Structure 1
């Protein structure tokens, strides 16, 4: 395969995943412009095979020789005790000439920029950037590119592009174009942490979104038929909106799949490479269409159903079909009858011997029958399929079962051939200019697509040709013999003066010399600047200092009744997180009335929380929040850092503060009064954070219902209405109390915010009570208790016990035991103590 496009449009980079060497080869040989890969530490796909630091020099030589860039993923949160190791790790990556690092952690962005003023940083989708303010935030950290959240529509991408150009903060934007969709916002999913102590922010996602759930509305199970996979989106395919993505001006299109096989990488990369080339050569983007063969290949690569995700906007009826949460492939048809060891299928797609099939009876959670086709007899639109003896239990297959093709060995063989073997298969062009006249040397100047240039001179002088002069055609024939190299001859411009001759052997030598020199230039590592003596400690501007102020219990409530109960319990710092921000005004007035009654003009203070996500066009929500005239605001994202910059602000857990470099950046640059420690930290990591940063600026949540999934997908709309979004769903979120029940019988609370985004809260509250005295002894003074759906009586009782705990009147174990007696609370020890 050769790269031959002469684009009318500025094509985005095609970025492919690589979990190992074979995947890297598959990506390169099928036309990727760049690959991204993890090493053995600090990456969000720790289950992938991954490369090692020792692989880097050889891998980067291979990629650069082939004209492909390589980006390393360091897209997890970094804990305090890991900063010194991360520092050396980053130095190794920079010195190896990697093209960029994809980063989630704010502190790591700072550290990279401290170690190297020019090394490229790409802000990961794990940074949850959904707006121009998020792009500006990334730019302030020294990032050179932003990977937008997958939830951004093309309309929103265009709006972000327009805004960042208007504000002169433009950065290149990257979007995911294909692959598995996380149902939760990346960087905001705490499900694995809540249920098993495995953090998605640490590359250990347990994929709870792919599991079946029951929907419970107002205490009754909703009959959804076969729809059980309420949180499992179809896989993203951006093929049909590729022209619009090119028009949007995004710089890079990213394929998901670092856990996938090389055949997947080859397949998907090839489809998008060819599609981009068709866009490049199209006279009009409106004429570019999707080929049926491409959709077939993509479905065979990996498919839970293919859909454009959020690119076209929100459609909650289509995003999640809810019928299965695992790979299916191509829909083959439906079983019409079974007899004599043969199964008749009404065909919706072609089938041949060797194909692997699975029979779907509507219960994907159970073991399913499947096997390889031995023989096919087609009769019109039906086919009689025969399988190997004892491959299937025919008693478990029924008329009406759907049949899926999950394997196509012939396609897999073709894909493996695309990247196997020693010789390069995806070639890059060399353009040549040839100069010379009688008595001079032949000069050949070669340029590649990366702007490398070499000049080679003949060792033999040109003489006049009496027969067979060096014509353009002859030069093309001899200098274009580039087999077994990663190049092909592009344009050759002949500037020879007169009829000249040079031995073929000399032309061949020159050709080999050109290739050798170009390969040497292309293989060189990028010479980034590197401060070998740089240390992360250089970036901390605040010295750790013990706090001598009294311990403060901070209470977050989610309705006015809980607020009244917290006031009655004499809580002096109150947070409100209500589904409707317009209710905040009443909450503030309630607190002001309490102050008047108590003759205390400033205490208690009330802080209100905007929603976790802010997208273009949602400033009206922030206006509603500020209209409450609260004492301050609980900041969840980058838009809110900007919008509430002149107000009193506290950083919430969603800012992912996991180390002192991140804490210091938010506190110093944005003057936040406190920062809530990331919920990914266990007790030992919390201790490290408190002892490496000033504890008076930190806050730890010690009691809460963990917010597990935070998502654009609206379960209320999808399963309790026929609507597609808020404009036509009838607002079932305002009419029903809804929970989802998992496979072990736990019921988790579902809430919608004012932007129609859903949060699934762990139905069981967790406590860190056993670690409270230890945290206090280290200087921590701000402890948060969060309520969800507790009654006012439960609120008062819980506060009473925590106050006893802080005052040393009961132990953490005693508190846990006392709260556990309140079965409706269902408190557990939680994930705080997990390693």
Structure 2
């Protein structure tokens, strides 16, 4: 095991603005991550502007803090050049790394520069050693693991890679795998893969089991996880090989940043110092106070679905005080388990968080009617709220009471970052040389980074008649570094003879040295810029309209496959909940003289190569590959069957197309995040004969490690003790307007929530045919065999020009859209545009 030091473990903090940035630096962050303008996964944060980059990086480097820019969204074809401009601005400003999701962008950055650091974002869905191996040609400096990886997974991955691993340890949890959630854009036109998550997971849902709504009491937020807080696990994570500890929260306050960073700084430093560390109850309460939906270890300690969420509220609550025991005329009586005082904010929780809740500030505290001064640590207490804050007639016995704010804590946190000069002091060492008749030469070394500057006296040294220069006096004068970030750590004096130096001259030399060392700190690092034209390979190709397009049916049951074999379908894909049934699927397809591809799970975890091997043993004609780990697993073998990359690889531009085709895939499926115009833009400069489009489906919205079957239909905690209710029942989630969204389980017990209404891209088939797209897929979910045959027939007629796309979606009563958004397309402009094909 490598030696653990302060330099080998990184604490990474979120910053959404200058105040948060100062709070992170002041409280001990080793690095920060932030967005610049629109290309990041938190577009609602204030973010920084491109012209601020140099100032931001100079400030960070002044304090030896690294700055990472988040470019962690999908980049569409028409955005690549703007993204390139931002990449080059980051290089020029000396940004320490870019955090990237888009594979095409990753490829482009490497074309621009061989040494500009790239971090693989959690939105890449990197969850296995194979996925990291896939990324090796792009020399990523750090990989951010999926939040679903547990401690055992992390240990396995670190044992199989030298790439440093970053893990989220605190903040909000996505219920869906990052990069695999399409809900926000499907329902609200705000894509999570574009930094616009609308938090559909925080909405209430009814659970429908076998067609009947299940009575859940006040549990309605069945997809809303608690917040991650892994501070107790810091020692275990370090020993598991984690190099970077990441805090979530670019939309949070500077007080939140100061609070969380300082706590995790202490936890890391205590471990490195060899001391046992367990956070105190007070420290946990302070973390809860800044922001908390309740705390959980997430999946780090393994799967425990019942502990992942509370289900009764979706928003930050703070510190739980207790329940109302009695309602008085002007006060409420509670038995508090946490300290409270005048001025604290409280809210009364009646179990209906979607309604207006009573709450405000504490005006007074009483015990048995007698006013109490100062902070009350616990016990029976009467809380007197502000007269205009709370209507006590709407407060009832049994209501839960939460402390939502603590002004005193906020003031204490604010003080940590109000005065910059108190942030950090860095040690410097000075060597002094000289003799009579020569200049005094001082060599100043910044001990933290090794920078050195040499400052000489302006005059020659003269012999001292009364008070010769001593080492003690020199240390006193050169050590007067107040107001700078430096402090004198060591001084070596190598001066021959008794010399005298005017104090004014020593002051000048000291000031000049400090200024030069600071300038060296703040100077941007110079990266290699190849000068390569990143778009030289992009060209429009003369397109030939496809005459005999291929129609593919993705089936999720043997009945559907059997029905498809009795149609003129060209290919069948099987996507079963249990891959153990794949052998039978192949037999049925082959018996009907149809070729069949088998789909891998969307997630690939350590220890799951057996699933991928089992797919090969079923002897399919092709494989539908859905994760980076699976791509690497199959392409590293000498297989003689086609590999088709699915939408979950998030291919959104021609560079990503080229990258995956170059890695051994025979065909790719674009991301569902592209609307029709964005799809056209990408197809116009891509190998369209190697692109497959999904033109009919129930959109897979959430894809999550959280199992609602286990949580709400069993008393178990995971697949080992849940009794497998998914084999006996079906669940749908009913939203606020009554739509029922089916929930299905895969071989890894992960859940996918599908959109209730099927959608059709049939209207755009004629345009895609003109672009040279040859492969079209229709996907089935719960349809019976008769419906499968009807849908296939409709799309075959549309592909052959025998019916319009409009008539298809109207006949099926489907929504008219491609992927998550219909987008816009000027058909006249499309016809006039010169489209070509390789």
TM-score range for the pair, normalised by the shorter chain length: over 0.9
Q: Who is 2:591 aligned against?
A: 593
Q: Which moved more, 1:703-712 or 1:34-43?
A: 34-43
Q: How does 1:235-254 map to 2 (within 5 A)?
A: 235-254=227-246
Residues 271 and 690 (structure 1 numbering): CA distance in 2 closer, same or farther, change over 3 Å?
A: same
1:581-615 deviation digits (Å, cap 9, x = unpaired): 111101111122122xxxxxxxx210000111111
Q: Give the C-alpha shift of residue 574 in structure 1.
A: 0.5
Q: What CA distance in whole angstroms lies between the structure 2 residues aligned with 1:767 and 1:802?
A: 10
Q: For residue 809 of structure 1, what is the aligned residue in structure 2? A: 802
Q: Is the 8 A contact 2:692 2:774 kept in 1?
A: yes
Q: Render the CA deviation track for 1:645-701: whole Å, top value 9, x for unaligned.
A: 22321010011111110001111221x221111100111111112111121111111
1:611 pairs, out of 582, 601, 615, with 601
CA distance in 1 between counterparts of 2:18 and 2:142 reads: 26
Give CA deviations for 1:373-430 in whole Å, capped at 9, x if unaligned: 1112246712211122221111211111111111111111122222224x33221422
Partner of 1:639: 629
CA distance in 1, matches of 2:453, 2:501: 20
- Tell me the distance in 2 between the aligned counterparts of 1:144 and 1:159: 19
Structure 1 residues 181-260: aligned runs within 5 Å: 181-260=173-252
The equivalent of 2:171 in structure 1 is 179
Q: Is the 8 A contact 1:13 1:251 kept in 2?
A: yes
Say if 1:734 and 1:7 are closer, same or farther in 2 by CA, change over 3 A: closer
- SS of the residue aligned with 1:185? coil
Asked if 2 retains the 8 angstrom alpha-carbon contact of 1:11 and 1:246, the reply is no
- From the superposition, tell whether residues 796 and 410 of structure 1 become closer, same or farther in structure 2 (CA, over 3 Å): same
Deviation of the 1:431 alpha carbon:
2.9
CA RMSD of aligned residues (A): 2.3
Aligned partners of 2:734 and 2:741 also within 8 Å: yes
Could you tell me how far 1:436 is from its partner in structure 2? 4.3
Are 2:659 and 1:665 equivalent residues in the alignment? yes
CA gap of 1:700–1:270, structure 2 versus 1, over 3 A, is same
Distance 1:225 1:488, change over 3 A: farther
Question: Is 1:343 the counterpart of 2:340 in the alignment?
Answer: no
Match of residue 373 from structure 2: none
Match of 1:653 among 639, 647, 655: 647
CA distance in 2, matches of 1:753, 1:437: 77
Give the match for residue 341 of structure 2: 352
CA gap 1:799/1:343 in 2 versus in 1, 3 angstroms: same
Q: Could you say if the C-alpha distance between residues 147 and 752 of structure 1 is closer, same or farther in structure 2, counting changes exceeding 3 Å?
A: same
Deviation by residue 1:213-262 (Cα, 9 ceiling, x = unmatched): 11111112222222211111111112101111222332221111111122
Please name the residue that 1:314 is paired with. Answer: 303
Give yes or no for contact 2:553–2:778 (8 Å, CA) kept in 1: yes
1:79-131 deviations in Å (ceiling 9; x for gaps)? 11112222222222222221111111111111111111211111111111011
Q: Do the aligned partners of 1:19 and 1:258 also contact (CA within 8 Å) in 2?
A: yes
118 and 544 in structure 1: CA distance in 2 versus 1, 3 angstrom threshold? farther
> Contact 2:538 / 2:685 at 8 angstroms: preserved in 1?
no
Once the 2 structures are TM-superposed, how far is the Cα of residue 808 of structure 1 from its aligned partner?
A: 2.1
Distance 1:463 1:567 in 2: 104
Distance 1:425 1:249, change over 3 A: farther
SS of the residue aligned with 1:275? Answer: helix
Shift of the 784–163 alpha-carbon distance from structure 1 to 2, 3 Å rule, reads same
In 1: Cα distance, 2:693 partner to 2:462 partner: 80
Counterpart position of 2:684: 691
Counterpart of 2:154 (choices 132, 154, 157) is: 157
Structure 1 residue matching 2:323: 3-state secondary structure: strand
The correspondence for 1:120, drawn from 94, 105, 117, is 117
Change (3 A) 1:353 1:728: same
Residue 41 (structure 1) aligned with residue 38 (structure 2): yes
Once the two structures are superposed, residues 250-275 of structure 1 have per-residue CA deviations (whole angstroms, 9 ceiling, x without a partner) of 22211111111222112211221222
Partner-residue secondary structure (3-state), 1:111? helix
8 Å Cα contact 2:428/2:486 also seen in 1: no
Q: Which moved more, 1:536-545 or 1:620-629?
A: 536-545
What SS class does the counterpart of residue 50 from structure 1 fall into? coil
1:508 shift after superposition:
3.3
**1:529 positional shift:** 1.8
User: Could you list the runs of 5+ residues in structure 1 that have no partner in the other structure?
Assistant: 1-5, 165-169, 596-603, 821-825
Alignment match, 1:281: 273
SS at match of 2:316: coil
Shift of 1:491: 4.7
Partner residue, 1:461: 461
| Change in 2 beyond 3 A, CA 1:7/1:701 | closer
Q: Identify the residue that residue 546 of structure 1 maps to in structure 2.
A: 544
Supply the distance in 2 between the matched residues of 1:465 and 1:656 (Cα, whole angstroms): 79
How far 1:464 sits from its partner (Å)? 6.5
**Cα distance 1:457–1:202, how it changes in 2: closer, same or farther (>3 A)?**
same
> Retained in 2: the 8 A contact 1:442–1:462?
no
The one of 349, 352, 355 equivalent to 1:363 is 352
Moved more, 811-820 or 7-16: 7-16
Contact 2:342 2:365 in 1 (8 A): yes
**Contact between 2:545 and 2:770, CA under 8 Å: does it hold in 1?**
no
Alignment map for 1:305-454 (pairs within 5 Å): 305-378=294-367, 381-421=379-419, 423-436=420-433, 439=436, 441=440, 443-454=442-453
Size of the aligned set, in residue pairs, is 805
- Please say if residues 4 and 272 of structure 2, whose CA atoms lie closer than 8 Å, have aligned partners that are also in contact: yes
**What is the TM-score when the length of structure 1 is the normalising length?**
0.92
Residue 32 of structure 1 is aligned with which of 29, 33, 46?
Answer: 29
What is the CA distance between 1:321 and its match in structure 2? 1.8
1:785 maps to which of 778, 782, 803: 778
Cα deviation, 1:325-378, whole Å, max 9, x if unaligned, reads: 101111112111111211112111111111111111111121111101111224
Within a 5 Å distance, the mapping from 1:505-516 to structure 2 comes to 505-516=504-515
Supply the distance in 2 between the matched residues of 1:280 and 1:475 (Cα, whole angstroms): 36
Alpha-carbon distance in structure 2 between the residues aligned to 1:12 and 1:414 = 27
Residues 591 and 219 of structure 1: is their aligned pair in 2 closer, same or farther, counting only changes over 3 Å? same
Whole-Å separation in 2 of the counterparts to 1:466 and 1:674? 88
Q: Deviations over 1:445-473 (max 9, x none)?
A: 3223122222334456386797797455x
Relative to structure 1, is the Cα distance of residues 829 and 528 closer, same or farther in structure 2, using a 3 angstrom cutoff? closer
How far apart are residue 181 of structure 1 and its match?
0.8
The structure-2 alpha-carbon separation of the partners of 1:490 and 1:759, relative to structure 1 and needing over 3 Å to count, comes to: farther
The secondary structure found in structure 1 opposite 2:663 is helix
Q: State TM-score, norm by structure 2.
A: 0.92
Q: Do the aligned residues in 2 keep the contact of 1:463 with 1:502 (CA within 8 Å)?
A: no
CA apart distance, 1:494:
6.1
